[in-house]
Amino acid sequence: MRGVIASVAIGLALAGCAHTDTVMMSESKLEGPKEIALSARSSAWLPEIEKRIRQKGFKVFRTASQRSVREQVSPTRSEEYKEAAARYILVIDGQPNLDPMRRCFGGGWYFFNLTAELIDARTNESVMTVSGAGYSEGCPPASSSLYQNIADSLDKAWK
C-alpha cells in the first residue's frame, strides 16, 4: 500500500513540473524554400533550438536583414531599407528561471514561458505561434519537448 501511495505522490509531483504547449497556425501551408531568419537574444539555450530546426532541413540565417538597398521611387525621391535575408522570420522569446535550484544537471532549463512566432516579412502577419512552459529537454526526469515542439511545428507549417 505504501508503494502505491509513494508512486501516486511521485506521479503528482512530476505532473506539477509538466509543460504546457499552445500551437496556433494559419490554415494554408507555406510554399518555397525552407529558409528562416532567426530573431532572438543570444542565450545558452538558443543553439539547442537552432540545431533541431536545422535537423528538419531548414536553412537558418542569424539576422533578419543582411543588406541595405537603395531604390529610386521617383525622379526626386529615393528610399533606403534593409532587405530581408529570408521571407519568414522566427522570433523566439524565452523566460528561463535562472535560479540555481531550478537548473537541470542535464543542461536543460525551466522556462516560465518560451514562445516562437513565425512572421511573414512580406505581409507582416503571424503565420505560426508555439508557446510552452516547464522543463526543457535535458532535465531528467521532468524533461519535456519544448525545443522539439518548435522545430516540429515549423516543419508542419511548410508543404
Number of C-beta neighbours around residue 158 at 10 A: 15
Q: Determine, yes or no, domain membership for 41.
A: yes
DSSP letter assigned to residue 50? H
Q: Determine, yes or no, domain membership for 4.
A: no
What is the dihedral sign for C-alpha 40, 42, 47, 48?
negative
Domain with 86, as residue range(s), is 18-26+34-157
Q: Determine, yes or no, domain membership for 40.
A: yes
The answer to whether 37 and 64 have CB atoms below 8 angstroms apart is: yes
Per-residue pLDDT of the chain (159 residues; tens, 9 = 90+): 555 344 434 443 444 444 457 777 777 889 889 999 999 988 889 999 999 999 999 999 987 666 666 777 788 887 766 666 789 999 999 998 878 777 787 788 899 999 999 999 889 999 999 999 999 998 888 888 999 999 999 999 998
Task: Give the number of domains in the chain.
Answer: 1
Q: Determine, yes or no, domain membership for 61.
A: yes
Q: Note the pLDDT of residue 97.
A: 86
- Rounded to whole angstroms, the Cα distance separating 126 from 90 reads 10
- Rounded to whole angstroms, the Cα distance separating 138 from 129 reads 23
Backbone angles phi, psi at 127, to 5 degrees: -100, -35
Q: Note the pLDDT of residue 142.
A: 84
Q: Determine, yes or no, domain membership for 9.
A: no
- Rounded to whole angstroms, the Cα distance separating 17 from 1 reads 25
Q: Determine, yes or no, domain membership for 148.
A: yes
What pTM does this model have?
A: 0.75
